[in-house]
């Protein structure tokens, strides 16, 4: 659905040239929810803006739904943009217009007949639970409601792609959850392809099928969300994942223990695999850190354990045989 | 009371009031007609804006600054030949309107530009993302969003125009200010001065109230 090929974007500033995107290649398949994470300044905003050409790349190609965006005439580009919805961190609603007028806005820009516009707006407001707010102005709504209006507006022209620019970063956790559920539902019900950029790893964990990690304008890691999150390969990914997590304290490792990170996925997450294996090979274990959660609905568990006494090698082999991924974390002191 | 208002020729006052209102109405309408597009151009050609163009922006900015730095009384005189060319006379209400517009439009354009700059860039970006053309962005997003500022600017400009009209007496334009100078000041008819100034005060108050109400009606923040 979306292909970025060698997309490069440079900015000139007083301090000299800065490369915001450095030959980025990305492919987003139709129907995917694709996350791009990175710290501020990594180039996320620029990246998402190249998809609808709000930022024109200095080099490279942007293909959306088979159309080379960089090659379009201004009029064709405007038409192509109507098929790409976009929502924003600060909603960017028109304060002078009512909620219904805001949702109608893209349809009016397109020049659709009034009767069509009214029908479409009524159905969108209904679908997103905004019908009672139709005549209000944005200033009268909460952040979550404003983002719903933003989503209704983005969907007005029946886009095939939705771009989300830090769409939940200005919302409280509860509202974030609500908006993410809505995005998830739109993805499933309408088959909408969604690209979202965020610095919130939780957002990616909840809704993204795939994720790309951006650092200094380059994609340093990309893959299925579960793979990237459970087995991060790049230091930047690890650093972002480690944020807000309690790192285990190395001094708590029992002497002579052997450290391992165990990853359970899917059904095995809730099975007593570890204790079964420990009993059968006679090894003891201490759990040093752990987390049981879901990535896009798939349960997983990840534990760092120290095996002591008994045959740690045999335990590792048995766990692996049972479908648990075991990674060595390093020998204890 | 009878003796105090002895100098007042009420028909003269009525005529002067009408002249002031005509000058103000005519000049204000044209100031808006020229000021808004000029303000939009100043905004659009500015650095980092939709149609950023340093040369055009520098040029427009220079012309606006020059016109704004010329004292109105001088502009009135310098403009005489142009005024004759434009309206066929340099006298009366018609003769006053061209210099009034040339004096007020650049001022108003700056206020419009400022009002447009206050509009969140995100709104422009969102409209672009929805496939809006530059024309649509200006007419359907920027100007409606900036409307409170555009109207407040028009109020300030209209009030400035009221004081400009007083000077237009120099070219025989008439009006309340002219009456105040010719009778109230030059002939020491204090009562004429008081009445004209009171009428101007009422006019300015009225304009401010009208402007404030319009701003409140279009503000939804």
DSSP structure string for chain B: -TTGGGG--HHHHHHHHHHHHHHHHHHHHHHHHHHHHHHHHHHHTSTTSTT--HHHHHHHHHHHHHHHHS-HHHHHHHTHHHHHHHHS-SSHHHHHHHHHHHHHHHHHHHHHHHHHHTS-HHHHHHHHHTT--HHHIIIIIIHHHHHHHHHHHHHHHHHHHHHHHHHGGGGT--SHHHHIIIIIITT--HHHHHHHHHHHHHHHHHHHHHHHHHHHHH---
Tell me which residues of chain A have a C-beta less than 8 Å from any C-beta of chain B: 52, 54, 74, 78-82, 84, 86, 88, 90-97, 105-106, 108-110, 137-139, 153, 157, 163
Q: Are residues A95 and A218 in the same domain?
A: yes
- Residue A249 domain-assigned? no
Q: Are residues A107 and A134 in the same domain?
A: yes
The CATH number covering residue A154 comes to 3.40.50.300
Of B126, B144, B218, the CB nearest to A92: B126
Residue spans of the domains in chain B: they are 9-216
CATH entry 1.10.10.10 includes domain B9-216? no
Chain A's closest residue to B120, CA to CA, is A92
Q: Are residues A171 and A266 in the same domain?
A: no
Going from the C-alpha of A236 to that of each of A28, A39, A221, A231, the distances in angstroms are 22, 9, 9, 13
pLDDT at B73: 87
Q: Please, what sign has the CA dihedral across residues B47, B49, B54, B58?
A: negative
pTM for this predicted structure: 0.86
| Shortest distance, CA B221 to any CA of chain A (angstroms) | 5
Are residues A81 and B131, on separate chains, in Cβ contact within 8 Å? yes
pLDDT at A236: 87
Q: Could you tell me how far CA A136 lies from the centroid of its own chain?
A: 31
User: What are the chain A neighbours of B144 within 8 Å (beta carbons)?
Assistant: 94, 96-97
pLDDT of chain B, 221 residues: tens digit per residue = 556 677 778 888 898 899 899 999 999 999 999 999 999 999 999 998 989 999 999 999 999 999 999 998 898 888 888 888 888 887 888 888 999 999 999 999 999 999 999 999 999 999 999 999 999 999 999 999 999 999 999 999 999 999 898 888 767 778 888 888 887 778 888 888 888 889 999 999 999 999 999 999 999 87
Q: A241, A268, A291: which is the final residue of a domain?
A: A241
**Site from A96, A135, A140 to mutate, B interface, most B CB atoms within 10 angstroms:** A96
- Residue A309 domain-assigned? yes
Of A81, A88, A163, the CB nearest to B122: A88
Residue in this structure with the two tokens 């970006």, named with its chain if needed: B125
Of B120, B218, B220, the CB nearest to A92: B120
Going from the C-alpha of B40 to that of each of A39, B63, B64, B69, the distances in angstroms are 36, 15, 13, 21
| Shortest distance, CA A48 to any CA of chain B (angstroms) | 11
Q: How many domains does chain A have?
A: 2
The CATH number covering residue A277 comes to 3.30.70.260
Q: Are residues A205 and A59 in the same domain?
A: yes
pLDDT at A142: 93
pLDDT at B6: 72
- Residue A250 domain-assigned? no
3-state secondary structure of A125: helix
3-state secondary structure of A245: coil
Q: Are residues A215 and A294 in the same domain?
A: no
Domain that holds residue A86: 2-241
Say how far apart CA B101 and CA B26 lie, in whole Å.
9
Of B123, B131, B133, the CB nearest to A94: B123
Q: Are residues A233 and A260 in the same domain?
A: no
Are residues A138 and B220, on separate chains, in Cβ contact within 8 Å? yes
A198: alpha, beta or left? (left if phi > 0; alpha if psi -120 to 50): beta
Q: Are residues A237 and A260 in the same domain?
A: no
What token pair was written down for B145? 């969003």
Of A78, A88, A96, the CB nearest to B131: A78
- Give A276-308 pLDDT, tens digit per residue: 888 888 888 888 888 888 888 888 988 888 888
Q: Are residues A10 and A105 in the same domain?
A: yes
- Residue A246 domain-assigned? no
| Shortest distance, CA B27 to any CA of chain A (angstroms) | 28
Q: Could you tell me how far CA A311 lies from the centroid of its own chain?
A: 41
Q: Are residues A304 and A228 in the same domain?
A: no
């Amino acid at each position: 659905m979306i292909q970025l090929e060698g997309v490069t974007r440079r900015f000139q500033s007083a301090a000299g040239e800065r490369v915001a995107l450095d030959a980025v290649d990305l492919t987003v398949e139709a129907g995917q929810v694709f996350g791009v994470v990175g710290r501020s300044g990594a180039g996320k905003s620029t990246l998402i803006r190249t998809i609808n050409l709000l930022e024109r790349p200095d080099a490279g190609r942007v293909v959306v739904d088979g159309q080379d965006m960089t090659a379009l005439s201004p009029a064709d580009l405007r038409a192509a943009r109507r098929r790409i919805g976009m929502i924003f961190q600060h909603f960017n609603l028109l304060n002078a217009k009512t909620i219904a007028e805001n949702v109608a806005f893209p349809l009016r820009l397109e020049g659709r007949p009034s009767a069509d516009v009214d029908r479409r707006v009524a159905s969108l407001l209904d679908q997103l639970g905004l019908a009672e707010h139709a005549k209000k102005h944005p200033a009268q709504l909460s952040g979550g409601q404003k983002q719903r209006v933003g989503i209704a507006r983005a969907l007005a022209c029946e886009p095939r792609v939705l771009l989300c620019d830090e769409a939940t970063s200005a919302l409280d956790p509860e509202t974030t959850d609500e908006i993410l559920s809505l995005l998830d539902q739109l993805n499933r019900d309408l088959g909408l392809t969604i690209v979202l950029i965020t610095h919130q790893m939780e957002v990616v964990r909840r809704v993204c099928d795939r994720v790309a990690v951006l650092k200094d304008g380059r994609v340093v890691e990309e893959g299925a969300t579960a793979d990237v999150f459970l087995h991060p390969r790049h230091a930047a990914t690890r650093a972002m994942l480690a944020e807000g997590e309690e790192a285990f304290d190395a001094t708590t490792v029992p002497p002579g223990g052997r450290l391992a990170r165990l990853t359970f996925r899917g059904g095995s997450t809730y099975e007593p695999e570890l204790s079964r294996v420990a009993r059968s090979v006679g090894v003891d274990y201490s759990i040093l850190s752990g987390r049981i959660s879901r990535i896009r609905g798939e349960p997983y568990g990840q534990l760092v354990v120290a095996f002591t006494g008994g045959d740690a090698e045999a335990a590792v082999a048995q766990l692996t045989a049972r479908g648990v991924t075991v990674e060595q974390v390093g020998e204890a002191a | 009371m009878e003796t105090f208002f002895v100098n007042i020729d009420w028909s003269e006052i009525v005529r002067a009031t009408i002249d002031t209102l005509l000058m103000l109405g005519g000049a204000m309408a044209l100031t808006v007609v020229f000021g808004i597009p000029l303000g939009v151009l100043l905004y659009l050609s500015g650095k980092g804006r939709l149609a950023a163009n340093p040369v055009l922006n520098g040029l427009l900015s220079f012309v606006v600054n020059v016109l704004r730095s010329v004292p109105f009384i001088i502009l009135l005189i310098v403009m005489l030949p142009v005024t004759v060319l434009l309206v066929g006379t340099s006298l009366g209400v018609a003769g006053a309107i061209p210099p009034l517009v040339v004096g007020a439009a650049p001022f108003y354009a700056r206020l419009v530009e400022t009002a447009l700059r206050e509009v969140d860039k995100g709104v422009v970006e969102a409209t672009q993302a929805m496939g809006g053309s530059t024309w649509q962005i200006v007419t359907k997003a920027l100007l409606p969003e900036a409307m409170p500022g555009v109207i407040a600017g028009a109020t300030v400009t209209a009030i400035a125009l009221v004081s400009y009209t007083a000077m237009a007496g120099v070219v025989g334009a008439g009006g309340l200010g002219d009456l105040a100078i010719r009778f109230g000041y030059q002939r020491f008819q204090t009562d004429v001065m008081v009445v004209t100034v009171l009428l101007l005060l009422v006019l300015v108050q009225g304009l401010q109230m009208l402007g404030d109400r319009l701003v409140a009606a279009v503000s939804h923040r």
